[in-house]
Amino acid sequence: MRRIPWTLLVFAAAFAIPWLGSRFYTFIATDVAILALFALSLNLLLGYTGLVSFGHAAYFGIGAYTSAIFMKTLGLPFWLGFPAAGVAAGLFALVFGCFCVRLTKIYFAMLTLAFAQIVWAICFKWNAVTGGEQGMPNVPYPDLDWIGAIPGLDGFRVGDRFYFLTLVLVALAIVALRRIVHSPFGRVLAVIRENPERAEFIGIDVRRYQLAAFAVAGVFAGLAGALFGIFNRGVFPDFAYWTKSAEVLIMTILGGMGHFWGPAVGAAALTILNLQITAYTQYWPLILGTILIVLLFAFPGGLVGTSVDLFRRVRRGRDAGRP
């Protein structure tokens, strides 16, 4: 089988979207890119370590608020606010994770949810810093003039320029995530997912590894949050609300958590479906529920898992026919 560099092709195709000239396509593409990173960060826990987090939006929200406070309240540049968002989200994930990894299964999930609700409540109530219920509208765009100075990229609108920046940052973050899951550290996480008791027996400090995975996932969620806050032109307490956690969980499961790119595909599918359907009806939750039921019963591997299976079966069938 010839090896086609699909990832590069997709990146190139994504990079070309602003040339289509539609602000709407750029808008969707930015949304998808950011949410893909968010979903991929969750999959480090869900698919690779086997930890079900119901509160992943907390770190997304912390990242968004951190960068908004840096850029709007303090007037600092993006290249300080963006890493700070990752650091802050990672630190919070480390602290909350310390408590969460002491529990297992449903208790772990409930505790992540509890911490996320605390984060949400703080964002909702702390008027002086987070703007309370009204959030922080009008987060400034980073300085993007330098992108216009790059030959070939001049003449684009600010939204397109921000998309270029987002795409490159998200791509770098995804490369980093991929290296992490394929590193020895990532392999240990897979061992823990498959059999925590056995991992314990062979001398792996399971809790410490789980905590590390939790913190790393938090960092990437925070980075996604920082980008989303700017893209959304405002940061609101709902970023950390449990529905956001559920949304990213659905994206991951929809795309397929058994596959590295599954959550990214899930993010794209869910975002596009949502946009298309809410334009026609208010009953989006009803449709989403139906899709989920069909998915869980008919395609437990998610979109990617199912299509990979199908692809293999077709190929095996074809190979079987050969002499």
Partner 1 sequence: MKRSASLSLAAAVAVAVPLAAPAANTIKVGYPMILSGPGALFGEPSLKGAQMYVDEVNAKGGVLGKKIQLIGRDTKGNADEAVRVVRDMILRDDVQFVVGTLTSAEGPAVSPIAKENKIVFIAPITKTDQLTAPENLHPYVFRSASTTTIEGRSAAEIMAKWGVKRVGTMSPDYAYGQDATKAFVEHLKRIKPDVEIVDQQWPKLGEADYTPFINAQMGKKPDAVFSSLWGGHFVTFAKQAVPLGYFKSLNHNFVGAGEAGSIESAKAMGPDYPVGIWSNTYDVFDWPAGPPAHKEYIARLKTYTKQEFPSSWPITGYISMQFLVEGIRKANSTDSDKVAKALLDLTIDTPIGKQTMRAKDHQANRGQFWGQMKMDPKYPFAVMDKLTYIDPAPFMD
185, 48 contact by CB (below 8 A): no
Least separation in angstroms between CB 266 and partner 1: 10
69's tokens: 């406070």
Distance, in Å, from the CA atom of 67 to the CA atom of 7, rounded to the nearest integer, reads 29
- Interface pattern 63-102 for partner 1 (x via CB under 8 A): ----------------------------------------
Distance, in Å, from the CA atom of 265 to the CA atom of 36, rounded to the nearest integer, reads 7
61, 221 contact by CB (below 8 A): no
Q: Which is nearer to partner 1, 279 or 320 (CB)?
A: 279
Least separation in angstroms between CB 313 and partner 1: 12
Of 315, 295, 309, the residue nearest 255 (C-alpha): 295
Of 279, 255, 277, the residue nearest 266 (C-alpha): 255
Looking at residues 123 to 152 of the shown chain, list those that interact with partner 1 (rule: CB under 8 A): 127, 132-135, 137-138
Q: Which is nearer to partner 1, 63 or 234 (CB)?
A: 234
Q: Is 19 in the site for partner 1 (CB under 8 A)?
A: no
Least separation in angstroms between CB 184 and partner 1: 21
**Given the structure tokens 């100075």, which residue do they identify?**
149
- How far, in whole angstroms, is CA 157 from its chain's centroid? 26
- Interface pattern 219-258 for partner 1 (x via CB under 8 A): -------------xxx-x-xx---------------x---
Of 218, 230, 250, 254, the residue nearest 116 (C-alpha): 218
Q: Is 10 in the site for partner 1 (CB under 8 A)?
A: yes
Looking at residues 145 to 184 of the shown chain, list those that interact with partner 1 (rule: CB under 8 A): 158
Of 248, 239, 230, 242, the residue nearest 89 (C-alpha): 239
Distance, in Å, from the CA atom of 228 to the CA atom of 212, rounded to the nearest integer, reads 24
Q: Binding residue for partner 1 (CB under 8 A) from 279, 297, 321, 322?
A: 279
Q: How many residues does the chain have?
A: 323
Least separation in angstroms between CB 301 and partner 1: 11
Least separation in angstroms between CB 235 and partner 1: 9
DSSP E strand boundaries for 97-227:
136-137
Q: Is 311 in the site for partner 1 (CB under 8 A)?
A: yes
Footprint of partner 1 on this chain (CB under 8 A)? 4, 6-7, 9-10, 13, 17, 22-25, 27-29, 127, 132-135, 137-138, 158, 232-234, 236, 238-239, 255, 259-262, 264-265, 268-269, 272, 275-276, 278-279, 282, 303-304, 307-308, 311
